[in-house]
């Protein structure tokens, strides 16, 4: 029997996951700076105040570190907090609670106190965000044992993984790209939770493997579509969960193709792409036909002005050029291609 689906945006998927989980479990509550205001975190928390009341969805004072510790206290005392940060950059103010407290609390109490807590953090790009509203930080969090880190790309994954994150005995950091909020996908009417720690083949292929995170998968899909016209078959693997990382699909794919490009939505130096590259080195050494290539942000700060910002972020074009180089192809004429333009789709403000 075919699963019944309907078209859902990423934003709606997040919103539905929250509604469904809050209905299912009265211990779930959502809080953070501006969570309950009229904008409702880009509408991802729409309807929660009205349906569940201000004690289960509320705005708070501006104190990120204390907000994360607050969630820890609520979690060890029987609740399931979802704490939202409108920019992942703001979580830098909460690193003490995150790394010194939340990550190790269960361990330090001899496994007696669990921390079923979710931290949603939004990453983004464009519209002049500049260097304090544009970081990604997944490798920071993933470096610390005890924190689970998720970066869903598609609406179905966003819904299924957020449901799992809320039900998990945590703690879980859930990173959402702002540009993905308008992504649309057919999502099952009753989307089941998706297991944390399972990667996914986003597009099957045979010639080269691309491992992408978050928005970079959208760029990878575009690159794959263009290269397919000349018979190049790209396989895209989306880890979905950054930590704990399931590398089995990545390894299987690279053994098959012998080539790998890692496109992480982050800087390259000491980043998640280095982790993927190292795993491939450890597990696919003899099968590699070319060195693993990493694609990421330029090794500088994110500038505000558009011409410089264009140089900062990698795109489908960078991926196409990398594939051509790896496979010894001529440069594809891209002048007729229509690449993602946020001017056409996204007017801001963020």
Partner 1 sequence: MASQAILKRNLAFYNKLCLIREAEKAIIRHYGENEMKTPMHMSLGAEAIAVGVCEALNKKGQILCSYRSHAVYLANTNETNIFFGELYGKSTGMAKGRAGSMHLSSPETNFLGSSAIVASTLPVAIGAAYANKIRSTGKIVCVFFGDGAVDEGAFWESLNMACLMKLPVLFVCEDNGYAVHNPATERHGYDSITKIVQKFKCNVFESSSTDVQQIYTLTRQALSTMRRTHQPSFLHLKYYRYLQHVGINEDFSSGYRSRDEFEVWLKSDPIEIQRKKLKKIGVTEKQLRSLENRIKDRIEKSIQLAKSAPFPSQEDLYERRPGA
Question: Any catalytic annotation for residue 133?
Answer: yes
- One of 107, 131, 339, 342 touching partner 1 (CB under 8 A): 107
In whole angstroms, the minimum distance from the beta carbon of 45 to partner 1 comes to 18
Residues with Cβ within 8 Å of 260's Cβ and at least 6 positions away in sequence, in order, are: 208, 209, 210, 211, 250, 253, 254, 276, 277, 280, 284, 288, 292, 293
- One of 10, 29, 181, 297 touching partner 1 (CB under 8 A): 29
DSSP state of 335: T
Q: Which of residues 118-177 bind partner 1 (CB under 8 A)?
A: 145-146, 169
List the catalytic residue out of 85, 133, 177, 259: 133
195 is an interface residue for partner 1 by CB under 8 A: no
Give the C-alpha separation, 74 to 160, whole Å: 24
In whole angstroms, the minimum distance from the beta carbon of 75 to partner 1 comes to 8
Other residues' Cβ atoms within 10 Å of the Cβ of residue 129: 21
Give the C-alpha separation, 226 to 332, whole Å: 9
- One of 73, 128, 188, 258 touching partner 1 (CB under 8 A): 73
112 is an interface residue for partner 1 by CB under 8 A: yes
Helix, strand, coil distribution of the chain in percent, nearest 5 = 40, 20, 40
Give burial (CB, 10 Å; 0-12/13-18/19+) of 202: buried
By CB under 8 A, which span of 98-106, 202-210, 279-287, 301-309 interacts with partner 1?
98-106
Nearer to partner 1, 60 or 290 (CB): 60
Tell me if residue 176 falls in helix, strand or coil.
strand
Determine the straight-line distance between the first and last CA of the chain, rounded to whole angstroms.
41
Peptide bond between residue 171 and the one before it cis (omega within 30 degrees of 0):
yes
- One of 43, 59, 66, 315 touching partner 1 (CB under 8 A): 66
63 is an interface residue for partner 1 by CB under 8 A: yes
- Spatial strand order in the sheet of 293-297: 200-203, 234-238, 208-212, 260-267, 293-297
In whole angstroms, the minimum distance from the beta carbon of 173 to partner 1 comes to 17
In whole angstroms, the minimum distance from the beta carbon of 346 to partner 1 comes to 34
In whole angstroms, the minimum distance from the beta carbon of 36 to partner 1 comes to 13
In whole angstroms, the minimum distance from the beta carbon of 58 to partner 1 comes to 9
Strand partners, 211: 237, 262
317 is an interface residue for partner 1 by CB under 8 A: no
74 is an interface residue for partner 1 by CB under 8 A: yes
- One of 32, 36, 71, 155 touching partner 1 (CB under 8 A): 71
Give the C-alpha separation, 191 to 167, whole Å: 14
Q: Provide the annotated active-site residues.
A: 133
Residues that bind partner 1 (CB under 8 A): 27, 29, 55-56, 60-61, 63, 65-79, 81, 96-97, 100-101, 105-113, 145-146, 169
């Amino acid at each position: 029997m075919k699963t019944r689906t309907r078209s859902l945006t990423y934003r709606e998927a997040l919103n539905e996951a929250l509604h469904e989980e809050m209905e299912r479990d009265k211990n779930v509550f959502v809080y953070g700076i501006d969570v309950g205001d009229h904008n409702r975190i880009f509408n991802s928390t729409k309807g929660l105040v009205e349906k569940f009341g201000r004690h289960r969805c509320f705005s708070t004072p501006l104190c990120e570190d204390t907000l994360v510790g607050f969630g820890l206290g609520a979690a060890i005392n029987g609740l399931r907090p979802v704490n939202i940060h409108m920019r992942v950059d703001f979580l830098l103010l909460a690193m003490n609670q995150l790394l010194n407290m939340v990550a190790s609390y269960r361990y330090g109490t001899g496994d007696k106190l669990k921390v079923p807590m979710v931290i949603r953090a939004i990453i983004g790009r464009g519209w002049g965000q500049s260097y304090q509203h544009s970081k990604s930080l997944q490798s920071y969090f993933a470096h610390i044992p005890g924190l689970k880190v998720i970066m869903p790309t598609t609406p179905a994954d966003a819904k299924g993984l957020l449901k799992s994150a809320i039900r998990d005995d945590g703690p879980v950091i859930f990173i959402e790209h702002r540009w993905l909020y308008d992504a649309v996908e057919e999502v099952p009417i009753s989307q089941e939770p998706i297991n944390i720690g399972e990667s996914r083949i986003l597009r099957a292929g045979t010639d080269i493997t691309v491992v992408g995170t978050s928005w970079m998968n959208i760029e990878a899909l575009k690159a794959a579509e263009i290269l397919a016209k000349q018979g190049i078959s790209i396989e895209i693997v989306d880890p979905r969960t950054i930590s704990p990382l399931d590398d089995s699909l990545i390894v299987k794919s690279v053994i098959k193709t012998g080539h790998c490009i890692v496109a992480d939505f982050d800087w390259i130096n000491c980043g998640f792409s280095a982790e993927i590259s190292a795993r491939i080195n450890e597990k696919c050494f003899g099968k590699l036909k070319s060195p693993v290539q990493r694609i990421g942000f330029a090794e500088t700060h994110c500038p505000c002005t558009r011409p410089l910002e264009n140089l900062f972020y990698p795109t489908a074009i960078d991926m196409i050029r990398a594939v051509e180089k790896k496979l010894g192809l001529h440069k594809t004429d891209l002048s007729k291609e229509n690449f993602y333009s946020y001017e056409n789709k996204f007017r801001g403000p963020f």
